[in-house]
Amino acid sequence: MKRADIIEAAIEAHTWDMLVIGGGASGLGTAVEAATRGYRTLLLESHDYAKGTSSRSTKLVHGGVRYLAQGNISLVREALHERGLLKKNAPHLVRDQGFLIAAYKWWSAPFYGIGLKMYDLLAGKLNLQASRYINKAQALTNIPTLKKSGLGGGILYFDGQFDDSRLAVTLLRTLEDHGGVALNHAPVTGLVMEGGKVVGVHWQDGETGQTHEARARVVVNATGVFVDDLRRMEDPNVKPMLSPSQGVHVVVDRRFLPGESALMIPRTDDGRVLFAVPWHDHVVIGTTDTPVPDVSWEPRALPEEVDFILETAAQYLSPVPTRADVRSVYAGLRPLVKAAEGTDTKALSRDHVIRISAGGMLTLTGGKWTTYRRMGADAVTRAAELAGLPRRMSLTEGLKLHGATAEDRPEPWKVYGTDAERVMALPGASVRLHAELPYFEAEVRWAAQQEQARTVEDVLSRRTRALLLNARASADAAPRVAAILAEELGRDEAWQAAQVQAYRELSAGYMLPGGVVPADMQAGESGAVRPA
């Protein structure tokens, strides 16, 4: 559907059953849940789907081994259940991934082995594969780059691995399949209030500047780390809900983790869990947990966070990844719900939270990608009660997401599922965007035609994952992407030039200092916050 048609549908003179603000994991999950229950649903996203936290995860669909260690059994059980459902419902996006806990101390294997057997039991019938002890030779077969000195074997367990922003795009397509309407680059600028109640929103078309109004029987604030911004539109003095925390990841070449397994470090020097995970023929290593006072759309990794990740990896891997080996570094903000003053953010719950304002706006925050479906189901049930909507069952436990297929395809076509043949039939299906990137020109056309991609950043950061896999190569590919988008969207050369400049400024923030960065890429993005 063309953008003009989506806008026309969004401004129809009727009251929506549910209006969801925010196009990340929680917002998309809520909107899909609402639409599949038969509620008339509109979703508005200020920037792009998964622009914030939802494209910056560790790429895991998991129960949370660390939460098990904290004794949060109910959260782990729920997440493991959702992990199993997501693998069934989106097999083109989720796969089994083995994780090795390397044992360098005599007690490590039995200690972690017992805990992971409980992990298996909590997953029940939806368990992926049973955890097991492996000896030193087997450990080195799984991860040939493990340091050999002192290695006594390890525990191999299984979780899910996925592509976060591609799941977001898949949920967008699923929402559209079920009659929902969604629009990106459409910031909400204010709330419509009547008699002290929130009855709709004012929103702006980010491309034309035109303003519109949308009314709904219930408004859902699912804007992630920006929920407090929206809550302040209703009550400027409202007490903040969140204590945001920053998580950083670095991406390096596959040679640092050439085997089939991921590495899980169960306790780092600061008490966190660290992962090194194979992803799109690269390796994602992370994460950190740094409290931050403010939120922005483009958080930046601190030098000490990058050093911590690389120094921790160096204790386990040989060869050791260095700053010179980092292809991209990205940071995401976790929407952690406030706890007592002085609580360490590592100890805050990842459970989702629902709050209802005095004006009847429902805010959904917290949680994680693995439990997005459950978050949406809980939010829609509560929102329907608030709005007095007909009570309807949730159908999403068994809902196959758009494109779902078990057919195995090579990169990069697998993520398109049943749409892959249509993408490959477009012009440029055999022309790479860059020699160091796994993506093709046809994917840019598909992103513009079918996935609401409107900018070079939309394509290179979230429809493809070029920005995260190799920031410098993605910047080199920007002019060609801009040219294809201009052809698809009817843009001129001035638009192309502006897009390339904006993207190069953005991508410079994903490169570590010390590399050769062109002069026109030195300025970083301001990170100014627009309402979600």
Percent of the chain with pLDDT over 90: 86
Would you say 408 and 445 are in contact if contact means Cβ atoms under 8 Å apart? no
CA-based nearest residue to 16, from 222, 219, 175, 215: 215
Predicted confidence band of residue 350 (pLDDT cuts 50, 70, 90): low
Contacts of residue 388, Cβ cutoff 8 Å, sequence gap at least 6 = 217
CA-based nearest residue to 369, from 18, 64, 21, 74: 64
pLDDT score, position 514: 53
The model's pLDDT over 285-318, given as tens digits with 9 standing for 90+, comes to 999 999 998 999 999 999 999 999 999 999 999 9
Does the pLDDT of residue 342 top 80, yes or no? Answer: no
The Cα–Cα gap between 260 and 99 comes to: 9
Which residue segments constitute the domains of the chain, with CATH numbers given? 3-53+166-241+347-398 (3.50.50.60), 68-162+243-337 (3.30.9.10), 413-521 (1.10.8.870)
pLDDT score, position 72: 81
The model's pLDDT over 2-17, given as tens digits with 9 standing for 90+, comes to 999 999 999 987 899 9
Q: What share of the chain is helix, strand, coil (3-state, %, to 5)?
A: 40, 20, 40
- End-to-end, the C-alpha distance of the chain in Å comes to 23
Contacts of residue 237, Cβ cutoff 8 Å, sequence gap at least 6 = none
Does the pLDDT of residue 532 top 60, yes or no? Answer: no
- Alpha helix positions (H), 218-263: 227-234
Instruction: Tell me how crowded residue 1 is: count the other CB atoms within 10 A of its CB.
Output: 13
- List Cα–Cα distances, 141 to 105, 113, 146, 154, 156, in angstroms: 20, 19, 9, 12, 12
Higher confidence at residue 394 or residue 340? 394
Percent of the chain with pLDDT over 70: 94
Range with lowest mean pLDDT among 45-59, 415-429, 507-521: 507-521
For the full predicted model, state whether its pTM sits above 0.85: yes
pLDDT score, position 281: 96
Section 435-451 average pLDDT? 98
Does the pLDDT of residue 360 top 50, yes or no? Answer: yes
pLDDT score, position 518: 38
Higher confidence at residue 60 or residue 14? 60
The Cα–Cα gap between 175 and 1 comes to: 13
pLDDT score, position 524: 34
The Cα–Cα gap between 94 and 116 comes to: 21
Section 35-43 average pLDDT? 98
pLDDT score, position 159: 96
The model's pLDDT over 154-190, given as tens digits with 9 standing for 90+, comes to 999 999 999 999 999 999 999 999 999 999 999 999 9
Range with lowest mean pLDDT among 64-73, 108-117, 310-319, 515-524: 515-524
Section 73-88 average pLDDT? 93
pLDDT score, position 203: 98
